[in-house]
Structure 1
Amino acid sequence: MSGRRRAYVVTQVSAATPSAVFDLLADGAGWSRWASPFISRSWWEREGTPPPGGVGAVRRAGRPPLIAREEIVEHVPARRHAYRIRSGLPVRDYLETVDLTPVDGGTEIVWQGNFVPLVPGTGAILAAVLKFFITRLARRLAGAAAAGSGTTPPTTA
């Protein structure tokens, strides 16, 4: 056994509609446009159903030399985007879900992840680092969706 399951939850509000937020999430090849500088490269390794970013799609994203391989496992337009990280991090059984809920003036984004660390004793620090990273991604996503451009000014990172 490598260690116990770890989890984190990040919540962010965007002035954009759930559809606008989801459109950015579902565009795996476009993550580098709104998630930069945290993700400088992104592309589809394999398309899913529906194409390109539906269930079964594999997205590659990251900043060299750390590029994750992520398989889309849920694709519910304007509601949920979920994926499993298949490689690129020292974890196993890693699931991330992004739930979108309409709220007055926009969308509540709840981005959560859970995993088992590969290296015993690293779970707490990995969870803290991943939560820090996802917090920044959620802010960038919220800003880019609200701007409607797929990009976010550097001041919102």
Structure 2
Amino acid sequence: MTVDARGEKLVTVKQGWESDAPLEAVFDLVKDSLTWESWTIADRVEMECYGQEDRHGPGAIRVVTASFIGQSDKRVLREKILEVIPYKRIRYCVLDGLPFIDYNAQVDFMRRPGGGVRLEWQASFYPEFEGEGPMLRRLVEMVFRVIMRQACVAVRYPAVRRAPRLNAAA
């Protein structure tokens, strides 16, 4: 068991989702943060800076404003892309904006036999406040499920997407 200096346990979360949506289309949608306003729980997404070799690649920092499930206030979080393996993995960390310490996550994209995609999203973090690990685990699991489902539905049924806002950083 891994604990931090305060004695808080490392929280790990892993969720999976399968769909008949094409792997490449789901990967491209998830990778392009500027599409998120049209299909995720994000109210606004802006790029603080782009990646070194790819706009949404390693080094990119996205600023996401969202109202999370069960909360009336909006959260603004900053995420940094750490690794992108085309059509296989996106790895990122949260720099600030959520009650987590050392939040690291990755989404793996796997081709299903016979077509479609399997997504596996996993994260680890320490809760910022004592005793909140179990509650934060449940919240992250719920958010992961919602976003994975939304990505697959948005690819299969593009008409469900909201009209994107114009983004000056694009």
TM-score normalised by structure 1 residue count? 0.88
Match of 1:151 among 129, 140, 161: 161
Residues 31 and 61 of structure 1 are in contact (CA less than 8 Å); yes or no, is this contact kept in structure 2? Answer: no
Aligned residues: 150
**Gaps in structure 1 of 5+ consecutive residues:** 153-157
Percent same amino acid at aligned positions? 28
RMSD: 1.7
What's the secondary structure of 1:132's corresponding residue? helix
Q: CA 1:50–1:148 in structure 2 vs 1: closer, same or farther (change >3 Å)?
A: farther
Aligned AA (1:138): M
Deviations 1:14-45 (A, max 9, x none): 2222211111111112111110xx21111211
Could you list the structure 1 runs, at least 4 aligned residues long, displaced by more than 6 angstroms after superposition: none
Structure 1 equivalent of residue 14 of structure 2: 9
C-alpha distance in 2 between matches for 1:45 and 1:20: 25
Unmatched runs of 5 consecutive residues or more in structure 2:
68-73, 163-170
Shift of 1:135: 0.8
Q: CA deviation at 1:60?
A: 1.2
2:25 to 20, 26, 38: 20
Partner amino acid, structure 1, of 2:91: A
> Following TM superposition, by how much is the alpha carbon of 1:148 offset from its aligned partner in structure 2, in angstroms?
5.0
Question: Per-residue deviation at 1:110?
Answer: 0.6
SS in 2 for 1:30: helix
- Give the structure-2-normalised TM-score: 0.82
1:149 Cα deviation (Å)? 6.4
Opposite residue 119 of structure 1, the aligned amino acid is F
Structure 2 residue identity aligned to 1:24: L
Tell me, in whole angstroms, the C-alpha distance in 2 between the residues paired with 1:62 and 1:13.
27
Structure 1 range deviating more: 117-126 or 55-64:
55-64
Could you tell me how far apart the structure 1 residues matched to 2:160 and 2:77 are? Answer: 21
- Given the alignment of the two structures, is residue 66 of structure 1 paired with residue 75 of structure 2, yes or no? yes
Match of 2:146 among 133, 136, 139: 136
Structure 1 position 51 matched with structure 2 position 54: yes
Which amino acid in 2 is paired with 1:111? W
Q: Secondary structure at the match of 2:82?
A: strand
| Range moving further from structure 2, 118-127 or 140-149 | 140-149
- Answer whether contact 1:8 1:127 (CA < 8 A) is retained: yes
SS at 1:40 equivalent: strand
How has the CA–CA distance of structure 1 residues 25 and 140 changed in structure 2, closer, same or farther, with 3 Å as cutoff? same
